[in-house]
A and B are shown apart, each in its own frame.
Chain A
Amino acid sequence: MQKENVLTRRDLLARSMGVAGAFTLGGSFIAATDAAWALEVKHLQPRTMATLVQMARDIYPHDSIGDEFYAIAVKGYDTPEQAPGIEEGIAMLDGMSGGGYLDIGWEADRNAVLRRVQDTEFFQMIRGGLVVGLYNQKEVWPIFGYEGESFSKGGYMDRGFNDINWL
């Protein structure tokens, strides 16, 4: 992968400081600040994907869930069929934001934009997709404390089904 195709730590930092307008990279990758994950975009503009990831986080904000999980949840839109609709939707979002959604520094202000578009098909599609796309990732379950499958471990009969001690 070419260096300039990757959204770098500096870009992400810039974004988190609310000057994400500085994010001007071409190419097809966005990546984590520490390069722990990278996502190749083939059909969407990288900035569109970055905006989509931010939108996803603003819809279902969990401070202890990393960007990569939001990225995984929306990467299915990076297809020839879906990309045009997403570009259009994000363009609408940017328009409503008076320029760039990513340029809005505070979540509360981005929320105000989202509230204005929440009845659109675009918003509902993204939100609806996240319900399964985000919360059905087995890797996020431990962040919520959820233990998932238990049959192979013999259930909770001897593993704390009644271990509550504060009542």
Chain B
Amino acid sequence: MSGPIVDVAQLRKRYPQAADEAVKGISFSIDEGEIFGLLGPNGAGKTTTIGVLTTRVRQTGGTAFVDGFDVSKDPTSVKQRIAVVPQRANLDRSLSAYENLTFHAAYFGFSRKERRQRANELLEAFGLAGRGNERVDFYSGGMAQRLMIARALMHRPRILFLDEPTTGLDPQARLFLWDQIEALREAGTTILLTTHDMLEAERLCDRIAIVDHGERIALDTPRGLRHLLPSEAGLDLLVEPGDHDGAVVRALQAFGTVEADDADDADGRVHARLFCDAAPAQVATAVEQAGGTLIELRRLEGSLEDVFVHLTGRDLR
């Protein structure tokens, strides 16, 4: 099969009674075997986009194809090929962990023998061997998350959707999941992942789409995205501006591009991002000379987080 395994074009979604569209014409495609990241602030349209691709949300415009099947016209064929790990646990609480796996595979037509064998293998692979007979009610958050991924893999999906898979997990569980996701990539599974965690996106994703307000505002490799910064080097400053309100910002502008959001801080401090190659000491001196007091100075490393804030701003959602 040639062509992308996921193909989304001009996707739109307006929920009934919503004033604004949740997704406003997003396009992207994912190649087989790729780990593709969907990044964006809360409410950016990530979950809605995943909802359309996993047949749980009906789009109001545009097209979405998964493995060549139109999600709106042939959802059953799409469901055969995908697996979803949602943000919130949705395990079958009437069943044991082991039964969660075996019944899931039964829905997909696996034989009894295959179900048993695969369930045991996956419990083992996800560190749940020996805990299979417990009720999932008694599982911790991390165990439930691992079990949900194991369940998703039971029917050998071609594409795995992970909606914020590590949110709320402790660092050990997170590292473990990252290893698992990398192992899945090695094995050839295509993965679409949403996250707010820049470290996670940077480490795992081959390509990343940044979405905000229902629109795709960037799409590139993690390295390519870093080039979106006005300069890869830069400084992040927190300054008490003193009497002359604009003086500090004007002083900074002498060095390079400045992104400042002054008025939002209740204490009147200026938070500025300065993209330039100048030495931090020089900048600090300039700030003092303009009558400002330097509170914080941090070197920007051109990380994905810097790109993300550069593109989507600092406002709370």
Q: Do A and B come from one complex?
A: no
Q: List residues of chain B with CB under 8 Å of any chain A CB.
A: none
On A, residues with C-beta under 8 Å from B are none
